[in-house]
Amino acid sequence: MTNTRKHSERRVALAFMAHPDDAEMTCAGTLIRLADLGWSIHIATVTAGDCGALSGTPEEVSNVRILEGTKAAELAGGKFHCLKEPDGRTVYDRQALQKSIDLFRDIAPTLVITMPMSDYHADHEITGQLGRAASFVYAAPNASKQPLIPGSGVPYLYYCDGHGGRDRIGQPVEPTTRVDITGQLDQKTEMLACHVSQREWLKHHNGIDEYLSAMRNYGAERGRECGVAAAEVFVQHRGHAYPTDDLLSELFPMSGQTSQPGA
């Protein structure tokens, strides 16, 4: 059974990520396009990325990375939020889930992009689990003490691309949805450049030098798959109670795009 629903009058998009640069790596081009259509944009992270540094205390690193995330979100006209769970030690427990639900309750998103539940980083996978759970239950009156915003409900849910287009064991991710971000790539790069603290860390720990070029090159690789200069790809969650019509493809149609079975 499909669940095709009328688009809500609320146009609120939430990128629910693990670390402060994840949205800029994976879905910022799509967020920019949504903002250009008048959507309210929110970027939230479960952690402040306090392990993503070669020096500095967790508090010092967190403060730097939250400032970077805030600046990047502002470049897309968005707001940044952080749940401040411990980086590299994110777990799916009642505390983290309640904090996630409360955040969703405050924002009441109608479209959510979260992290893949199979990816190289366990924080990403747990974030995807938290995002799925919070998106499903946040509108239940008893799920949170936060006020219930009119129009709250189960949102459109998408998982962003795995690192390098692969899951946790190196198998290819098969997208359901592709978004042309050719016109947004420079602004996406500017957003990612806000995370200047990450250049040396990514080079040392992940073996990624020139992370801006790496992001642009990967966007071009995904773009070549669908005949555009740069693209972002997603897997839509189409399980029970979630909308099954592909809203992103409807908003940003791409010639030759085809749908694959959802998550």
245 Ramachandran zone, left/alpha/beta (phi>0; psi -120 to 50): beta
For 107-166, the pLDDT digits (tens) are: 999 999 999 999 999 999 999 999 999 999 999 999 999 999 999 999 999 999 999 999
Instruction: Output the six-digit token pair for 82.
Output: 């952080």
Q: Which residues contact 177 (CB under 8 A, 6 or more apart)?
A: 158, 233, 234, 235, 236, 246, 248, 249, 257, 259
Burial of 7 per CB tally in 10 Å (0-12, 13-18, 19+): middle
CA distances from 100 to 126, 132, 216 (A): 12, 10, 30
What pLDDT is attached to residue 255? 67
Contact at 8 Å (CB) between 254 and 222? Answer: no
For 163-177, the pLDDT digits (tens) are: 999 999 999 999 999
The single-letter code of the amino acid at 137 is V
What pLDDT is attached to residue 109? 98
For 203-233, the pLDDT digits (tens) are: 544 444 488 889 999 999 999 999 999 999 9
CATH class, domain 12-240, is alpha beta
What pLDDT is attached to residue 210? 80
Residues facing residue 159 across a β-bridge: 114, 235
Burial 208-218 (b: 16+ CB within 10 A, else e): beebeebbbeb
Q: Taking the alpha carbons of 119, 262, 187, 218 in that order, is the dihedral positive or negative?
A: positive
Beta-strand pair 40-47/79-85 = parallel
Confidence of residue 183 (pLDDT cuts 50, 70, 90): very high
Closest Cα partner for 119 from 209, 236, 18?
A: 18
Q: What average pLDDT does this structure show over 5-18?
A: 84
Quote the radius of gyration of the chain (alpha carbons, Å).
Answer: 17
Mean pLDDT of the chain: 91
What pLDDT is attached to residue 260? 41
CA distances from 195 to 59, 72, 84, 200, 222 (A): 17, 8, 17, 11, 23
Task: Quote the CA–CA distance of 239 and 254 in Å, as a whole number.
Answer: 24
For 44-62, the pLDDT digits (tens) are: 999 999 987 777 899 999 9
Q: What average pLDDT does this structure show over 17-25?
A: 97
Residue 259 clears pLDDT 50, i.e. is over it: no
Share of the chain above pLDDT 70, in %: 89
At 236 the three-state DSSP class reads strand
What pLDDT is attached to residue 2? 56
Q: Which residues contact 135 (CB under 8 A, 6 or more apart)?
A: 104, 109, 112, 114, 154, 155, 157, 242
